[in-house]
A and B are shown apart, each in its own frame.
Chain A
Amino acid sequence: MVEIWFGLAAIMAAAFVVLDGFDFGAGTLHLFVAKSDGERRQVLSAIGPFWDGNEVCLLALGGVLFVAFPRVLASGLSGFYFAIFLVLWSLILRGISIELRSHVASPLWTAAWDASFAAASTLLPVLFGAALGNLIRGLPLDGDGWFSLALFTDFSARAPVGILDWYTVAAGVFAWVTIAGHGATFLAWKADGSVAARSHGAALWLYGAATILLVPMTIATGIVNAPMLAALPGRPLAWLTLAVAVAGLAAVGIGLRRRRDLMAFLGSCAFITGMLATTAVCLFPVVLRALGDDSRSLTVFNSGAPDQSLRIALTWYALGLPVVVIYFIVLFRLHRGRAAAATGREGY
Chain B
Amino acid sequence: MSDPLLWHRLQFAFTIVYHYIFPQLTMGLALLIVVIKIGALRTGRPEWDETARFWIRIFAVNFVVGVVTGIPMEFQFGTNWARFSKFAGSVIGQTLAMEGLFAFFLESAVIGTLVFGERRLSRRAHLMAAVALFAGTWLSGYFIVCTNAFMQHPVGHGLAADGTLYLADFWTFLLNPWAIAQYAHTMIASVVTASFVVAAVGAYYALLIAHLGHARIMLRVATIAGLVSSVLVAFPTGDRQAKLVAEHQPIALAAMEGHFETGAGVGIVLIGQPNMRERRLDNPIVVPRLLSFLAYGTWHADVKGLNDFPHSDWPDNIELLYYSFHIMAGLGTLFILTMGVAVLLEWRGRLLTHRAWLWVLMLAFPFPYIATTAGWMTAELGRQPWLIYGLMRTAHGSSANVESGTALFTLIGFTGIYFVLGVLFLFVIGREIAHGPAGDGSGLAPHSEGAHG
Contacts and interface: CB of A to CB of B under 8 A. Distances in A.
| Chain B interface, >50% SS class | helix
A232 interface: no
B349 interface: no
A104 B92 CA distance: 41
Contact of A74 (B67, B78, B102): B78
Contact of B90 (A49, A70, A99, A146): A70
B396 to A, nearest CB: 13
A48 B109 CA distance: 11
Among A66, A146, A315, A330, residue most surrounded by chain B Cβ atoms (within 10 Å): A66
Nearest to B64: A99
Interface stretch (A23-31, A83-91, A200-208): A83-91
Interface in A87-144: 88-89, 91-92, 95-96, 99-100, 103-105
A88 B72 contact: yes
A331 B424 contact: no
A92 B105 contact: no
A69 B1 CA distance: 33
Contacts of A193: none
Interface string B61-94: 1001101110110110111101101111111111
A103 B410 CA distance: 30
A70 B89 contact: yes
Contacts of A76: 78
Interface in B255-281: none
B443 A53 contact: no
A312 B421 CA distance: 39
B105 A81 contact: no
Contact of B431 (A63, A64, A104, A346): A104
Interface stretch (B30-38, B325-333, B374-382, B397-405): B397-405
Interface in A43-66: 48-49, 52-53, 55-56, 58-60, 62-66
A344 interface: yes
Interface in B100-120: 100-102, 104-106, 108-109, 111-113, 116-117
Contacts of B166: 305-309
Interface residues of A, number: 70
A71 interface: yes
B96 interface: yes
A95 B101 contact: no
Contacts of B410: 81-82, 85
Interface residues of B, number: 68
B75 to A, nearest CB: 6
A11 interface: no
B417 A306 contact: no
A77 B399 CA distance: 10
Given A52-B108, A74-B82, A85-B72, 14 more contacts: A55-B108, A56-B104, A60-B104, A62-B96, A66-B78, A73-B78, A81-B399, A81-B406, A82-B410, A84-B75, A85-B79, A96-B424, A100-B428, A305-B164
23 contacts: A52-B111, A53-B105, A53-B109, A59-B74, A64-B97, A66-B92, A66-B93, A67-B89, A67-B94, A68-B93, A70-B87, A78-B402, A88-B75, A92-B68, A92-B417, A95-B64, A146-B400, A148-B402, A305-B93, A308-B168, A309-B91, A323-B105, A334-B117
Interface of B: 60-61, 64-65, 67-69, 71-72, 74-75, 77-80, 82-83, 85-94, 96-102, 104-106, 108-109, 111-113, 116-117, 158, 160, 162, 164, 166-168, 170, 399-402, 406, 410, 413, 417, 421, 424, 428, 431, 441-444
